Structure 1
Amino acid sequence: MTELEQVRHRLEELGLQRASELLDARLKAAQNNQSTYLAFLGDLLDAELSERKRRNLEVRTKLARLPYRKSLDEFDFSFQPSLDARFIRELATMAFVQRNENLIFLGPPGVGKTHLAVAMAIEAIAKGLSVYFVSLTHLIEDLRKAYEENRLDKRLRIYVRPRILVIDEVGYLPLDSLAANLFFQVVSARYERGSILLTSNKSFGEWGELLGDPILATAVLDRLLHHSHVINIRGNSYRLREKMKSGAYGGSSESE
């Protein structure tokens, strides 16, 4: 085994896979550039760290269970003039998460609530924060099953643990008494412990009907809104925009 092969093997044993893969190329580059030993070593270690950060970001993104990936740069703020783009980008610094505050996007279907929620989640992941994305329907189905199997406390930890819990599509279906109580438990467990990023097509005045219990709705909203930022989006649906441009859709539509 040559000296180069020995070094490559030791890098692999140490778990420095990317450094091992780049060893030959970086060594030749260092020789051509007449780099110092320290510069060569620093360059090789920088490549390893960069790859580890990339893999870590990819893993945390997968664990977040995002429905798709869309960034803030892809959001068309000009189509939703009711939104303050500068304030949204300020929220994207994640300072509100450090204060355990909540972020709520309200508006009719199609105006971009979920896009903004996903984009915020991606910003958070890039800053090293743990995120978990779930629709309210899936959240309730999951916790209902855990409740029936007497493992609710254990399953609740999945939704309490991340720094940001994204709950999407609140309001599309009314909740029965058990579902409403399970939703309350999640909100209550995270109160002042972690941020909730929530999207809903219902105004807060409609939550009593949504949860089937005005008193419980008040308890949920009390915890959600105590430390929160509420963004109310008023505008047309992105999903209908192209049809409207082509003339296939006869009129304008309010949306998410």
Structure 2
Amino acid sequence: MLTHPTLDLLRELGLTGMASGYRALDANPEAGALSHAEWLGLLLEHEATARRQKRFETRARAARLRHPASIEDVDYRSHRGLDRALFLKLATGDWIRTRRNLVITGPCGVGKSWLACALGHKACRDDLSVLYYRVPRLFAALSLARGDGRYGRLLRQIARVNLLILDDWGPEPLLPEQARDLLEIIEDRYDTGATLITSQVPVDRWYEIIGIPTLADAVLDRLLHNAHRIELAGESLRKRKAAEQAA
């Protein structure tokens, strides 16, 4: 008799998870044997789960990850040099919470971007803020923002996320303006957020990509001194998958 007024009140209060749980319990004949405390506990669990899911969906949309990847789907059988123990440790997100960095390098097609997005997806699930950019598009966005007055706001947005993913770094040398933009980003995030970079270019060649010695010293010192590294190798997974499908 009180079911509908109760549901209306729960929705009015914004407790949609509890409303969903109430409907489920009310339709379950065995729920009648539960005590009031057990009912309340189950309703609160429904509400907490619904709120966690909503926060995850909001963070995932804001992250704009390139691939719908998850750590549960990582392929450790491929011969590409991926250390399972290290990756699972990184998947806990402790390195993000302690504001360390991660560099994933390797040839084209070995899954660098996919692994980065899987870690980004897990961070969203852990209620951490994430932002993904392909490096060429990041510099294009910054150049456009500089022209229309949004430059400072965009830098602040990039600076405050828990995890910034910069995908596809290099191999073209940076323009002087791009090198300065990169220093601004890395400087803003130093000891305040974690940064993940993927690149086909080995780390020992990054200095020449930045080009300007003083800027390169400043960027790489801040970026690499506390960074975890994953160095992948092997043939392209895309080519292997295409060959398997053809066969």
Q: TM-score, normalised by structure 1?
A: 0.88
Distance (Å, rounded) in 2 between the aligned partners of 1:97 and 1:28: 43
Q: After the TM superposition, which of the residue ranges 130-139 and 34-43 deviates more from structure 2?
A: 34-43
Distance (Å, rounded) in 1 between the aligned partners of 2:223 and 2:2: 62
Tell me how far 1:141 sits from its aligned partner.
1.0
Tell me how far 1:247 sits from its aligned partner.
7.8
Find the counterpart in structure 2 of residue 67 from structure 1: 66
Distance 1:25 1:226, change over 3 A: closer
Find the counterpart in structure 1 of residue 33 from structure 2: 34
8 Å Cα contact 1:17/1:48 also seen in 2: yes
* 1:1-256 map, 5 Å: 3-29=2-28, 33-245=32-244
Tell me how far 1:238 sits from its aligned partner.
0.5
Distance (Å, rounded) in 1 between the aligned partners of 2:42 and 2:3: 17
SS of 1:66's partner is: coil
Which runs of 5 or more residues in structure 2 are unaligned?
none
Deviation readout 1:32-91 (Å, 9 max, x if unpaired): 542112222222222222122111111111111111211223222221342211111111
Distance (Å, rounded) in 2 between the aligned partners of 1:223 and 1:24: 53
Which runs of 5 or more residues in structure 1 are unaligned?
249-256
- Identical-pair percentage: 32
Distance (Å, rounded) in 2 between the aligned partners of 1:132 and 1:158: 9
Distance (Å, rounded) in 2 between the aligned partners of 1:96 and 1:109: 26
Deviation readout 1:85-144 (Å, 9 max, x if unpaired): 111111111111222110000111111111110111112112121111111111111111
Distance (Å, rounded) in 1 between the aligned partners of 2:197 and 2:11: 44
> Partner amino acid for 1:180?
A
Aligned length: 247
Q: TM-score, normalised by structure 2?
A: 0.91
SS of 2:77's partner is: helix
> Partner amino acid for 2:124?
I
Distance (Å, rounded) in 2 between the aligned partners of 1:32 and 1:230: 52
Tell me how far 1:24 sits from its aligned partner.
3.8
SS of 2:220's partner is: helix
Distance 1:138 1:18, change over 3 A: same
Tell me how far 1:225 sits from its aligned partner.
0.6
SS of 1:18's partner is: helix
